[in-house]
Amino acid sequence: MKILVLNAGSSSLKYALYETSPEAAKADTDKLLGEGMVERVTTMTGALKTAFKDLRPLLQGEIIAGVGHRVVHGGTFPGAMVIDAAVERAIDELSALAPLHNPRSLAAYRAAREHEPNATHVAVFDTAFHQTLPRHAYAYAIPPRYLDDKKVRRYGFHGISHRSVALRFARLQRKPVEALRIISCHLGNGCSVCAVDRGHSIDTSMGFTPLEGLVMGARSGDMDASALLYLITHEHEDPAALLTMLNNESGMKAISGLSNDMRDILSAADSGNARARFAVDAFCYRAKKFIGAYMAAMNGADALIFTAGIGENSAAIRAGIATGLDQLGISVDPALNDLKSTVARCVGSSQIPVWVVPTEEQLLIARDTMTCIVAQSAHSG
């Protein structure tokens, strides 16, 4: 069946058309028929029109059976959901926790539903994979009423990506994912590390929102909450402005004073820019600490995987993170690590092998959407 995947970003709409089925997903033979991106989106309806114009010839007269929508915050939904009125309302309510993301996904859904009223629309959440975190990993150590009444807890994000690289790595190893302990590092504009213990996420570095954890392009990652309360109480800083500062003006952009783009920062560091070097060191150091933590959480690991823009493309960052982990059984091989490639590959055959595995979020969204459609028709038939 033909599945359209939609991924609405803050100003862009990525789209992809897949041909898939339960058999094709199992055999890994599903096909990407076409993909593209509309940038500087003003209205979702307009963006979708462009996408459909691009994809229509690829449909060859067939209908779109399902539309898979990437949704960043799915609260406690444990998996992909067919979007009905209740799911739509839940995504809307979760917008308070993901104000940059969920409203865009909803807008894309509403526009796509207008355009494809007969297709099954499915929400695939970035949070769902982390619903297996045990309570001791997802609960903050604060009075439980904040968790029970206010839903303040760690949710985790990038779940589609972490799940996709864990599954791809297991397939390449010809091992069931249930036999592997994997530490997955998704390093893009947003960055997170995940401990995938025998197929289940048991811990991840992002928390209540995608701000916690690693140093990112423009996000601070971990910091002491009382420092912010100090700024609000004693320095009369505005809470909303602080939130913007933490999400948009911090991280690598703030430390380097240059840019949130890792390529710019690495080339400045190479040319002797001290702030850029300091930023790279801070980035690698924070990632390294989480790798150590997740080795402790799983009592070891069977693989360390890098993915996303930085993880897939930057040999320097992979080497920087792995430096000084040899006593833990992790090191990269400079010759393998420096090879330029776009396919999954081993970059360090240390005791714990180090791999680059390109993320396949769109493929996973297509498969989850197809699986929901199959389950729904089995249920109604």
Q: Which residues of the shown chain bind ligand ADP in the complex (CB under 6 A)?
A: 188-190, 217, 261-263, 266, 308-310, 313-314
In angstroms, give the least distance from the CB of 304 to ligand ADP.
Answer: 18
Q: Is 238 a catalytic residue?
A: no
Is 3 in contact with 364 (CB distance < 8 Å)? no
**Least distance to ligand ADP from the beta carbon of 173, Å?**
24
Of 81 and 366, the one with the shorter C-beta distance to ligand ADP is 366
Query: Shortest distance, CB of residue 39 to ligand ADP, whole angstroms?
Result: 13
| Closest to ligand ADP by CB, 255 or 310 | 310
Cβ 309 to ligand ADP, closest distance in Å?
2
Contact partners, residue 131, CB within 8 Å, separation at least 6: 76, 77, 78, 79
Task: Kindly report the length of the chain.
Answer: 381
Residue in the block written with tokens 């109604």: 380
366 Cβ contact partners less than 8 Å away, ≥ 6 residues apart: 3, 5, 16, 18, 20, 30, 68
Token reading at 266: 């690495």
Half-sphere exposure of 275 (CA within 13 A, CB side): 10
Least distance from ligand ADP to the Cβ atom of residue 226, Å: 29
Nearer to ligand ADP, 162 or 181 (CB): 162
Nearer to ligand ADP, 128 or 262 (CB): 262
SS3 of 101, please?
coil
Helix axes 85-93, 102-115, angle to 10 degrees: 150
Helix (H) or strand (E) holding 270: helix 262-270
Q: At what angle do helices 361-380 and 159-173 cross, to 10 degrees?
A: 90
Rounded CA separation 65/365 (Å): 14
Looking at the Cβ atoms of 68 and 188, the one nearer to ligand ADP is: 188
Q: How many beta carbons lie within 10 A of that of residue 336, not counting itself?
A: 16
Catalytic residue among 28, 30, 92, 126, which?
126
Query: Which residue is nearest to ligand ADP, using beta carbons?
Result: 309
Nearest distance from residue 13's CB to ligand ADP, in Å? 14
CA separation for the pair 289, 41 (Å, rounded): 38
In Å, how far from its chain's centre is CA 244? 21
Nearer to ligand ADP, 37 or 152 (CB): 37
The catalytic site residues sit at 126
